[in-house]
Amino acid sequence: MRVIVTAGPTYEPIDPVRFIGNRSSGKQGYAIAKSLSDNGFDVTLISGPTHLPDISGITMIRIETAKQMLKAVQNTLLSSQQDIAICAAAVADWAPTFSNQKIKKGSGEPQITFTENPDILKTIATAHNRPTLVIGFAAETENLIENAAAKLKRKSCDWILANDVSPANEHNVFGGDNNHIHLITNETQEDWQTMSKIAIADKLTNKIQNHFENQKK
**Which region among 74-82, 117-125, 186-194, 197-205 touches ligand C5P (by CB under 6 A)?**
117-125
**Closest by alpha carbon to 88, among 44, 128, 130, 121?**
121
Pattern of binders to ligand C5P over 151-190, x per CB under 6 A? x---------------------------------------
Could you tell me if 63 and 72 are in contact, meaning their C-beta atoms sit under 8 angstroms apart? Answer: yes
Q: Per DSSP, which regions of 49-167 are E strands?
A: 59-62, 84-87, 94-96, 114-116, 133-140, 159-164
**3-class DSSP assignment, residue 131:** coil
Residue 82 makes contact with ligand C5P by CB under 6 A? no
Q: Which of 22, 39, 147, 178 is catalytic?
A: 22
Site membership for ligand C5P, residue 87 (CB under 6 A): yes
Asked if residue 125 binds ligand C5P (CB under 6 A), the reply is: no
Is 8 or 41 the residue whose CB approaches ligand C5P more closely?
8
Query: Rounded to the nearest 5 degrees, what angle is found at the Cα of 68, between the Cα atoms of 77 and 64?
Result: 130
DSSP β-bridge partners for residue 88 = none
- Which residue from 120, 125, 149, 152 is in contact with ligand C5P, where contact means CB under 6 A? 120
For residue 37, report the phi and psi dihedrals to the nearest 5 degrees: -60, -45
- Of the candidate spans 16-24, 53-61, 89-97, 195-203, the one that interacts with ligand C5P by CB under 6 A turns out to be 89-97
Which of 44, 7, 12 shows the shortest CA–CA distance to 24?
Answer: 7
Smaller CB separation from ligand C5P, 69 or 102: 69
Q: Quick check: 121 binds ligand C5P (CB under 6 A)?
A: yes
The residues with which 11 forms a beta bridge, in sequence order, are none
Q: Has 214 been annotated as catalytic?
A: no
Neighbours of 69 (CB within 10 A): 26
Residues 31-70 binding ligand C5P (CB under 6 A) are: 66
Indicate which residues carry an active-site annotation: 22
**Using CB under 6 A as the criterion, which residues of the chain lie in contact with ligand C5P when the complex forms?**
6, 66, 87, 89, 91, 93, 117, 119-121, 136-138, 151
